[in-house]
Every structure is written in C-alpha cells, then in structure tokens.
Structure 1
C-alpha cells in the first residue's frame, strides 16, 4: 500500500499517544519467558517482530520462518541451539538470507551446538539440532551487532555451567547489552560486566515475576522529529516511559534539545515540548550506542535546513536494508546535499525541498516512519507504507490523531 501524506493545517500540535512496548525488550522478555515459564509479560509489543518471535518460540520441529525479523533470527538461533530435542530450519525473507550470522553460529558451535548452513556458508537458512551445551567459555568481536551478544547472554542462565563471554576489542552498542543484563537481573539471575568480560551464572528456575515492557524509544523518535519540525508551543505526550530506561535510544531526550525540543517526565509518560525555534546550525553526533535513530535525526536536520555529521553507523549496512545508502538515495531525491561512507553520514545545509516525492522504504519500517515527519514541510508519497507493522502497527493511525492527512493511493 502506498499513501499520500500531508501535514495538519495547524502546526501547533497537542495530543497524547500510547506507544506499543519496545520490540527489543519484548523479544528478550519472550525468550526469557520460554526458558522460565513463571514469567508474565506486561505491555508486550504488538509489532510483527514480537509476533514472529512469539510464534517461533512455540515451535520445536520443522521450518521456522521469521520473515524480516533480524532480532528473532539472532535470538532464536541461540534458543534452538540450546533447546534439547529441537530440530528446525530457521529461515526468513530474501533480505534475511543476505544478512551475516556466521559470528554467532561459530560461537554457538564452539560451545557445543549443532548448527549448519542450508545454502551459503555464513548466512541463513540454518539447520539447528538442539542439544545440551556443556562448555561455558567463548569470545566474540566486541564491535559486532549487540544482538549476537544478547543471543548468547539470554540463553546463558539456562546452560548447565552458565557463560563467560569475552568481547575482543572496543565494545559497541553497550546500552543493548545492558538492557539484556538488566532483564536477567530483574528475574533474579546473577551477572557481572567487568572490562570486556561478561559472566552469567546458571539458574534452573526463577520465582514467578512480571516483566513490564517499556514503550519503544525508537518509536518515540518520530514524535521528537514531529515536534522539532512543528511550531513553538507544540506538546505531545507519549506513554509508557521510564526516566531510568534500559533502552539506548532514550538518548533522544538529550540530542533533541539541540533542535529546541524539551522532555518533561510524568508518571510513566513523557511530554515533548517545542520550546525554541532556533535549533543549532550543525549537529555532530556519535550514534554508536543508538544507531536506530540515525534515520530520524538525519531527516529532522534536512527538514530544518541544518547540517549534520553522524558517526558510529557501521551496523546500519546490515539492517533491513543498507540504511546509509537508502538515506543517501531518498534524501537526494528530496534535494539534500548528502554523502555517506560505510559508517558515517554528512548532510549539508539546504533550503531546497522538493514536493510530492515518492519515498521508497526498502522493506524497512524505519525508512517509512523517519521520513513521515517531513509532511510538516512538504507533501510526500510513502511507498509500501504498511512496512511499519514490523515495529509500530498503529503509526499511521497515530499520525491521523495529530491531524496529519493520510490518504491511500
């Protein structure tokens, strides 16, 4: 489905939006609840990714298709490897078969797993025969996607001897590692993270407990962008959020002060307030710990006509699409002066914004949502708009609540 998107007539925006639970926290919590049935999950994400993860965890034999869900691919690889008696083919979309997984497979096989490649070595589909993993020491490069690391950490307490994981080199995506460890601690599992070594103690069972999933800060980023591009006096309230968040993307509240947006915390909610219409003239951000908000920030800068230099983006090359090249293509279509490398994005200042441009989304939910706020400055067409269901199925409905004009073509 493609849509034509235009902004509201009144660009002083005021409303309250409830955002679904974080898919990152949801998928971690779902795996833990499969390992420890006494866990109850509250505010579970209604995203495609969480539904695919939940469905995958219910299977033990046959083909498990996780479609575009990269988190599910990494987490289920670890889960099935350690699930005695399982025998599955773990596969996904065409793009998923192009996303590397060799580092995780090698680590699991080193622990004693039985994982082989159905087609090309290093890439899904995977044949996984679950067995007891008795070894408890393994190492991984420290600069890889945190999902590889979290896949090992999540199954670690169910292993007979726990796990000692050494990260070799400079660690990236620390907040996502801490999110995983924080959830393990929340259900009573002992962990330590000293230097480059992570220890997880074994635990056969946990006491019945409720894990409350915080709403997704990545999803909140699009409303930060909307407020930044709106008029002074706009105030959008989002729930349910915590001041001390496990999510790395909560750094939004600091970054967006440069765009004139202030964050006020209430009880389980945040209010985004457009306090100033004089943003910084240039934004320089290292997003190594929060790469998922790079698209939002780049589009916000373009919408405001200011430049930016974003670094720490090396993991964006292997996401749902090559997000750096996708941003380069789509922002260029809109009139941007942009250049990218394999780990950086640089945007020049610009007063040009082309109208009624069709934005391609590349099977990537974040491309659709990151570009949507530009409707406050120019009308757009969003191709394959329902790709947003991967993480935020209600996104277009929530924009309509803010009086955006969403018309199916």
Structure 2
C-alpha cells in the first residue's frame, strides 16, 4: 500500500488520541502470564508483534513463525528452551533470518538448553527441545540488545534455581532491563541489580495480580514530532501514560523541550503543547538507552531545518532493517545531508525540503512512522505503509484525526 501525505489545514492542532499498549510491556507481560497463568493483563497492544507473541506462546510443537518480530524471537527462544516437553522450530522472515541470535543461544546452552541451527550458524531458524534448566549462572556482553538480557530475566523465576546474570562491560539500554525487573517485581518475584550483576530468585507460584500495560512511548514519539513541527499553540492529548514510566522512551518528554514542546501529566493522559519555536541550530543526544526514537528525532530536526548528532545507536543496524543506512538514504532523498558510522548519525542544518518524494520503508514500521510527521512540511509518499501494523495498526487513521490528508495511491 502506497500513501500520499499532506497537511492542508491550519497547523495549530487540538486533538486527543488513545495510543495502543506498549509492545515492549505487552510481550514481557505475555511471557510472564505463560509462566504464571494467574497473572492477568490489561491494555494489551493490538500490534502484529503482540499477536505473534500470543500465538507463539500457545504452541508446543512444530513450526513457530514470528515473521518480523524481533522481540518475540528473543523471548520465545528463552521460553521454549526452558519448557520441558516442548519442541519447536522457531523461524521468521528473510530479514529475521539475517538477525543474529547466537549470543542468546550460547547463554541458554550454558544453562543446559538444547538448541540447534537449522540453516546458518548463529541465525534463525533454530530448533529448540525444551528442558528443565538447573544451572543458574551465565554471562552476557553488556552492550548487546537488551532483548537478549530480558529474555533470560523473564524465564529466570521459572528456572529451578533462579538466575545469576553477569553483564560484561558497559551496560546499555538500562531502562529496558529495569522495565523487565519492575514487571517481575509487580508479580512478587525477588530481584537484585547491583553493578553488573543481576539476580532473580526462583518462584514456584506468584500471587494473583494484574499487569496494566502502559501505552507505547515509542509510538508517542511521532506525536512529539508532529507537535514540534506544528505551530505554537498546538495541543495533542495522548492516553494512557504515566509520569513514572517503565519505558526508556519516556525520555521524549525531556528531549522535546529542546524543540519547544511541553509535556503536562494529568491522570493517565499527557498533553503535548508547542509553547515556543525552537531557536537551536543543532542538538546532540546520546540515545544508547532509547535508540528506537533516533529516527523520529532525526526527521524532526530535518523538518525544523536543524542539525543533530545522535550517538549510542550501535543496535540499529541489526533491527528490522539497517536503520542507520536506511535513514541516510531516505533523508537524503528529501534533501538532507547525512553522515553515519556504526553507531551514530549526523545531520547538517538545512532549509531545503524536496517535495513529492516516495519514502521506502524496508519492512520497518519505524521508518514509515518516523517520516509521517514530515507531511506537515511537505507532500510526500510512503511505500508499503501498511508496515505500521507491526507496532501501531491505527497510526495512519490517527494522523487523519490530527488533520493530515492520507490518500491511498
């Protein structure tokens, strides 16, 4: 599906949007519910990834195809490895079969898991024969994707002797690790995170509890971008969010102050208000703890004619696509000057925006959604726009609610 985006109305927006539950919290909560069925969940994400995770957890034998869902691949690898009597082949899309899984497989094997590669060493598809894992000590590199770390932490309370996980080196994506530990704490699992050592106690049964999934802050990033690119006076109300969020991307509220956007909390609603124009020539952020908002920020800066230098992005090349390479290519299509290396993106200040460009999305939901707000500044097309269903199926409909014109070509 190819869409054409434009914005013909006043650029002062005053609207309310209900955003789907966090994909990150949803998938963690679903795995905990599979281990402890007396855990209830509210406000589940309606994303493709959430549905794939649910379907996978309900399978005990045969092929489990998680398509593009990287979180599900990591979490289900750990889950099935620890489930005595279950035997599956875990596979995914062509791109998923190019995304590494070796670090997690090696760690699970160290704990006694039985996992083999069906095609290429270190990559899905993988065959998993579930076993009772009794070993309880393992180490991982600290600078890898937090999903590998969280996968082990989530199954830890079900392991016979719990888990002691050592992270070797400088830890990145700390908020996602803390999110996982906080959810474990909410169902009564004892955890400890000191220095580079994480301990999770064994838990035979947990108390009856309900995990309420907060709406997705990664999805909120696109509305922050829209507010920043709008005129002073714009107000966008989003639900359901909380001030003390478990999600690392909640740093948006702080970052977007630099772009003139103020965040106000009221109950479970936040209001994003454009209170002043941004007078900065360039910004510099280390996004090691929130890499998923890098695409949004770079498009915001381009739309405002600003420059940016974003670092801490070493996990982006192994996402749904090589996000650093893809952002360079697509930003340059619309007139930007961009430089990248293995973990950073630099954008030069420029007032030149090329109209009627078709943005390629590379099977990556965040590529499509990050460029959406640029429709406030120019007319552009988005190829394979349906990819947003991976995390936010209602995205284009919600942009229409804000006043965007969204036409199918």
- 1:404: which partner in 2? 404
How far off its partner does 1:8 sit? Answer: 4.0
Residue 31 of structure 2 corresponds to which residue in structure 1? Answer: 31
How far apart in 1 are the matches of 2:194 and 2:223?
Answer: 36
Q: Within 5 Å, give how 1:153-164 maps onto structure 2.
A: 153-164=153-164
TM-score w.r.t. structure 2 length?
A: 1.00
Runs of 4+ in 1 over 2 A off after TM superposition: none
Cα deviation for residue 187 of structure 1 reads: 0.3
User: Following TM superposition, by how much is the alpha carbon of 1:207 offset from its aligned partner in structure 2, in angstroms?
Assistant: 1.2
| Residue 138 (structure 1) aligns with | 138
Residue 188 of structure 2 aligns with which residue?
A: 188
Whether 2:219 is the aligned partner of 1:229: answer no
- The correspondence of residues 97-246 of structure 1 with structure 2, limited to 5 A, is 97-246=97-246
Kept in 2: contact 1:42–1:213 (CA 8 A): yes
Distance 2:205 2:94 in 1: 38
Which residue in the other structure is 2:266 paired with? Answer: 266
The Cα shift of 1:278 comes to 2.8
Tell me the distance in 2 between the aligned counterparts of 1:384 and 1:153.
35
Cα offset, 1:208, TM superposition: 1.1
CA deviations 1:135-165 (Å, max 9, x no partner) are: 0000000000000000000000000100000
Deviation at 1:131, TM superposition (A): 0.4
1:44 is displaced (CA, Å) by 0.3
Structure 2 CA distance for aligned equivalents of residues 121 and 62 of structure 1: 21
Aligned partner of residue 314 in structure 1, secondary structure = coil
- The gaps in structure 2 that reach 5 residues or longer are none
Give the conservation status (yes or no) of the 8 Å contact 1:239–1:268. yes
Paired position in structure 2 for 1:88: 88
Matches within 5 A, 1:244-255: 244-255=244-255
Unaligned runs of 5+ in 1: none
Contact in 2 for aligned 1:8/1:402 (Cα 8 Å): no
- Alpha-carbon distance in 1 for matches of 2:278, 2:65: 48
Deviation at 1:280, TM superposition (A): 1.9
More off after superposition, 61-70 vs 274-283: 274-283
Q: CA RMSD in A?
A: 0.5
Matched residues in 1 for 2:136 and 2:157: separation? 10
Question: Residues 153-211 of structure 1: CA distance to partner in whole angstroms, max 9, x if unpaired?
Answer: 00000001000000000000000000000000000000000000000000011111100
Q: Deviations over 1:96-128 (max 9, x none)?
A: 000000000000000000000000000000000
Q: How does 1:316-331 map to 2 (within 5 A)?
A: 316-331=316-331
Partner in structure 2 of residue 375 of structure 1: 375
Aligned to 1:393: 393
CA distance in 2, matches of 1:94, 1:188: 39
State the alpha-carbon separation in 2 of the partners of residues 217 and 372 from structure 1: 16
Deviation at 1:343, TM superposition (A): 0.3
TM-score with structure 1 setting the length: 1.00
Q: What is residue 5 of structure 1 aligned with on the other side? A: 5
Q: Which residue in 2 is equivalent to 1:283?
A: 283
Report how many aligned residue pairs link the two structures.
409
Give the Cα separation in 1 of the matches to 2:220 and 2:351. Answer: 27
Take 1:373 and 1:113, find their aligned partners in 2: how far apart are those partners?
45
Cα displacement string for residues 334-372 of structure 1 (whole angstroms, at most 9, x for unaligned residues): 010111001000000101100000000000000000000
Aligned to 1:341: 341
